Structure formats: C-alpha cells, structure tokens
Amino acid sequence: EDQVTQSPEALRLQEGESSSLNCSYTVSGLRGLFWYRQDPGKGPEFLFTLYSAGEEKEKERLKATLTKKESFLHITAPKPEDSATYLCAVQGAAGNKLTFGGGTRVLVKP
C-alpha cells in the first residue's frame, strides 16, 4: 500500500525566511509525485509533477526536488501570499489513484 508522510505539520515563517517542506513516501513503482497547494475553503490546486529521482521543478518562489524516498518543497524568500497548506501525493504503477500525505500548513508573517 502506498504511503506518504509530510513534515513538519505546521511551519511559521517570517517574510523572506526560506525553508523546506519534506515528503517521505513508499510506493510500488512511482508513476508520479505531485505537489498541491490548498487555501482555506478551497480545493487543492496543482503545482508540480515529478517523475524520477533527480528531477527538479520551479515555479516562482517554489522549487520541488525528488529522491527515491522523499521529495522536498523549497520556499525561497516567502511572501505572506505563500501561506497555505501544501499537500504531497504519489501515484504508483498499480493504478490511477493518488495517495495524499497529511499536508504542511505554512504561515508567512509580514
């Protein structure tokens, strides 16, 4: 069974204070690892897909990286608008469903 664990559960940052979120996973044959952002009262919004170890993707202040056991979401010089819950999910080779981690709640204070 696919498993995803995210840490920390919550993160409080000052504006401009860079940090990283961790996503550890076990999956039988990784088809894709996904990062989503979720704002309060809304559905998750897609950020990145990573397919294989060593891959990196960037979008504005966010950079996602992938190894064989974990993924990191780096937030560089965050702004208050980066405050959200960040969700990690994996899709294994066995099917088409995504298994999500518990998420990391990020609060960026001005």
Partner 1 sequence: DAGVIQSPRHEVTEMGQEVTLRCKPISGHDYLFWYRQTMMRGLELLIYFNNNVPIDDSGMPEDRFSAKMPNASFSTLKIQPSEPRDSAVYFCASTVLRHSGANVLTFGAGSRLTVL
Q: Is position 43 an interface residue for partner 1 (rule: CB under 8 A)? A: yes
Please choose, out of 17-25, 53-61, 72-80, 99-107, the segment that lies near partner 1 by the rule CB under 8 A.
99-107
Least separation in angstroms between residue 43's CB and partner 1 is 3
CB-nearer residue toward partner 1: 48 or 78: 48
Question: Which value, in Å, is the radius of gyration of the alpha carbons in the chain?
Answer: 13
Rounded to an integer, what distance in angstroms lies between the CA atom of residue 75 and that of residue 60?
A: 9
Among positions 25, 34, 35, 86, the unique one binding partner 1 when judged by CB under 8 A: 34
Q: 110: cis peptide before it, omega within 30°?
A: no
Classified as helix, coil or strand, 3 is strand
